[in-house]
Structures are given as C-alpha cells and as structure tokens.
Amino acid sequence: MMALLSLICLLIFIFVWFGPVLKRHKQIGGYIDKKTEAMALFMGMIPTLAVIFLSQLGIGWIFHQTGMDKNRILLSFLQGFIMYGLIEEITKYGFARLVLKKFEKLKKIDIMVIFGFVGMGYEITESMLYGNLIAGIGRGLFVAHIMYQLIMAHFFYESIHAKNTGDDAGAKRNRILTLAIPVFVHGLNDLFCELSSMYMDSYSNIGLSNISFEQAIPIIVYISGIIITNVACLVWGLRLSKKDPDIEVSLR
C-alpha cells in the first residue's frame, strides 16, 4: 500500500515537472515517437535492479571485507559517490545510449526527452521497491533522477553538436561533463542522505525530540544540503531543456 501511495505521489510530481518538457517536445516536433518513449522508460527500469542487486551486494561485500564499513563517514562518502552516484549514472547513460542507437539525427529536445524517460523509469522502479511514502514524496518533489538525466542530456547534446561542427576540444570536454556533473550532484545528494540517516540512527535510542539544538545541527546541515542540491538540479534541468530545444544534431 505504501509503495502504491509513494508511486501516486511521484507520478503527480512527474506530471508537474516533466510535463512541460514533454509539452515543449510536442510543440516543436521531433523524431521520437511514443514507442521510443516507452522503450526509454523500460530501459530506465533495468539499471535499478542492477544497482540494488549487484552494486549493493557486490560493493557492500567489498566495503565489509576491507573494513571500510566501520568508518561511517567514509562509508557514506563511498556509498554516495560510488555505489549510487557513479554506478547509477553510468548505467542510466548506457541504457539511454542504447535507445539513441537507432537514430541518425535528433533535435536537442528529443535527446532531453529520451534521457528524461530513462530517469523516470529509474525513479518509478526505485520508489516502488523502497515503498516509503515519505521518501516517495521527497523524491517526487524534485524528481531528482529525471533532472540528473536532463543535465546529462544537455552535455551529451553539446558534445555531439561540438563534434558536428569540428570542435574536437569542445566535444571531449562536454563528453566528460556528460557523466561528471550528474555523478557529482547525485553523489553529493546521496552523501547528505547517508550522513543524515547516520546521525538520526545514532540518536534513535533517545528519540529525536529529546536531542539538543547543538546535537541537531549536523542533521539540519545535511537536510539543508539535500534540499539545496535538489532544488538547484530541478531549476537547472528545466532551464537546460529550454535552451536551443529545436537545434538538430547528427549522431553518426
């Protein structure tokens, strides 16, 4: 039941935030159709399972064997940037590229929508698996995975556009940013999540309502970090989707 309510909340916010991007795509017109959108959505659901059942089990085992799991701050950093940020963004990028393979040319808005649907598939699947209503509302407020993908799509488009115009340096730079920026902001968000969870767990035995203001400062800082990171990605992702949406690039 909680998973269903979480999904409903998430879908409402997806409609609010991602809806305008889809409307802009419909107005401009492009090369992708409903079938391609459905394929991208399905592709986005696949890496969720890979991350949960492979990265968490595999990397978690490595953390345990090396003793890194005993240092909670180091563990939070590694989980945020490696287990979640790096692996999740690489897998989403890979599956988005699979959807793009059948096209010879696309408009920028096409690329944004394909990457966005991959992010949507990931967001939906992860929310259903965790089934936490509060987390579902929080995730939905910022639709983080979709916004990470819109940022990724922008720099991927810029790399292709630079390549089309003979700017090899620009193409290389934007190829690096295509993954580097989403991995960084995703990792930073999840680092704050892990640290806030760590501090909440440490005070759970006395109850959060009984801790002093000084004890609560780290939690306040980490939650503020989560909000700032996600709001920044939300605003940035939506702005990037409006920048030169009808410019066409060749993918071959």
pLDDT band at 252 (very low <50, low <70, confident <90, very high): confident
Q: Tell whether the model's pLDDT for residue 195 goes beyond 90.
A: no
Q: Tell whether the model's pLDDT for residue 227 goes beyond 90.
A: yes
Q: Which secondary-structure segment (H or E) carries 243?
A: none
Count the Cβ atoms, other than its own, within 10 Å of residue 133. 17
Give the tens place of pLDDT for each residue, 105-131: 999 999 999 999 999 999 888 877 776
pLDDT band at 4 (very low <50, low <70, confident <90, very high): confident
Give the tens place of pLDDT for each residue, 35-66: 999 999 999 988 776 666 666 677 777 777 77
Q: Which secondary-structure segment (H or E) carries 249?
A: strand 248-250
**Which token pair is 1?**
């039941």
Q: What is the pLDDT of residue 76?
A: 82
Give the position of tokens 């292709």.
160
DSSP string, 132-194: -HHHHHHHHHHTHHHHHHHHHHHHHHHHHHHHHTT-HHHHHHHHHHHHHHHHHHHHHHHHHHH
Q: Where are the domains of the chain?
A: 2-250
Kindly report the average pLDDT of the chain as a whole number.
87
Of residues 162 and 206, the one with the higher pLDDT is 162
Instruction: Give the integer Cα–Cα distance in Å for 164 and 142.
Output: 33
**Which token pair is 250?**
């060749």
**φ/ψ of residue 107, rounded to 5:** -85, 160
Give the tens place of pLDDT for each residue, 64-80: 777 776 777 887 888 88
Biggest CA–CA distance in the chain, Å, is 62
Instruction: Give the integer Cα–Cα distance in Å for 92 and 106.
Output: 19
Q: What is the pLDDT of residue 202?
A: 65
